[in-house]
């Protein structure tokens, strides 16, 4: 009697899936499990790819090494960790990282005992003649300026007779000339024994950074000179 307008009122608060076929019914627990599983698989995939990348880098491009001894003072300290670029193994002449230059700090198997690894600096290139007189290094008769040396570690450098660097070999020396077993005593390093050149120090924290490369001026060539090219030029 008094409730005639009730039929025109709309009821609110009651919703069902049958009201609209476009309404999706979501089961939160099931969706959560599926989402967690999907994210877990993606994480495993990313970890696997990262491991593969690091393995490839270690095999073909970069390798960590530990410095043992004091033959490279003051540049390198005993116990420091270095990263070694292995691209020199592939002889990529178009980039400096792909070949060996004078002043590079290289890591190689010791020719007299390949079970040992040494780290030294490249001084003489194939085809050059290296000689030591009065504590100074001479390459093809020209004095080599070595700003990376410290006089405290070069007080008793003995003379060494002129030595011709053969093809595919290098003359190497430690920066600590007073206490370094190098080409002055046991000869040249075959190119095939050099497995990389050090370029970055990642330990100790106070010395993290790129290693110093030797600079020798325009009159001293950095890269090995093709002797055939040089002879053709002299003609």
pTM of the model: 0.73
The residue whose two tokens read 């090494």 is 65
Residue 12 and residue 102: Cα distance in Å, rounded? 86
Catalytic site residue 71?
Answer: yes
pLDDT at position 234, please?
A: 39
| CATH number among 1.10.645.10, 2.10.109.10, 3.40.50.970, 1.10.3720.10, domain 67-216 | 2.10.109.10
The residue annotated as part of the active site, out of 71, 96, 180, 183, is 71
Most distant pair of Cα atoms in the chain: their distance: 128
DSSP run (H or E) holding 35: helix 28-56
pLDDT at position 176, please?
A: 95
Domain ranges in the chain are: 17-63, 67-216
- pLDDT tens sequence for the chain (235 residues): 445 555 555 554 555 555 555 555 556 566 666 767 777 777 777 787 777 666 656 556 888 899 999 999 999 999 999 999 988 766 666 666 678 999 999 999 999 998 999 999 999 999 999 999 988 999 999 999 999 999 999 988 888 999 999 999 999 999 999 999 999 999 999 999 999 999 999 998 889 999 988 888 777 877 776 554 443 443 3
The residue annotated as part of the active site, out of 86, 120, 183, 197, is 120
Structure tokens at 147: 């700003």
Nearest to 104 by CA among 199, 169, 219: 199
């Amino acid at each position: 009697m008094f409730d005639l307008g009730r039929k025109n009122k709309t009821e609110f608060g009651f919703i069902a899936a049958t009201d609209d076929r476009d309404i999706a019914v979501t089961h939160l627990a099931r969706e959560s499990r599926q989402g967690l599983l999907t994210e877990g698989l993606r994480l495993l995939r990313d970890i696997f790819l990262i491991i593969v990348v690091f393995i490839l880098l270690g095999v073909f491009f970069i390798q960590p090494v530990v410095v043992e001894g004091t033959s490279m003072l003051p540049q390198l300290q005993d116990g420091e960790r270095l990263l070694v670029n292995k691209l020199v193994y592939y002889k990529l002449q178009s980039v400096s990282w792909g070949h060996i230059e004078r002043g590079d700090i290289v890591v190689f198997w010791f020719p007299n005992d390949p079970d040992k690894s040494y780290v030294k600096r490249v001084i003489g290139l194939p085809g050059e003649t290296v000689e030591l007189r009065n504590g100074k290094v001479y390459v093809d008769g020209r004095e080599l300026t070595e700003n990376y040396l410290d006089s405290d570690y070069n007080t008793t450098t003995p003379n060494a007779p002129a030595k011709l660097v053969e093809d595919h070999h290098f003359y190497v020396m430690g920066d600590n000339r007073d206490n370094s077993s190098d080409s002055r005593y046991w000869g040249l390093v075959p190119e095939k024994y050099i497995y990389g050149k050090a370029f970055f120090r990642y330990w100790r924290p106070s010395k993290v950074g790129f290693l110093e490369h030797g600079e020798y001026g325009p009159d001293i060539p950095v890269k090995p000179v093709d002797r055939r090219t040089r002879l053709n030029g002299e003609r």
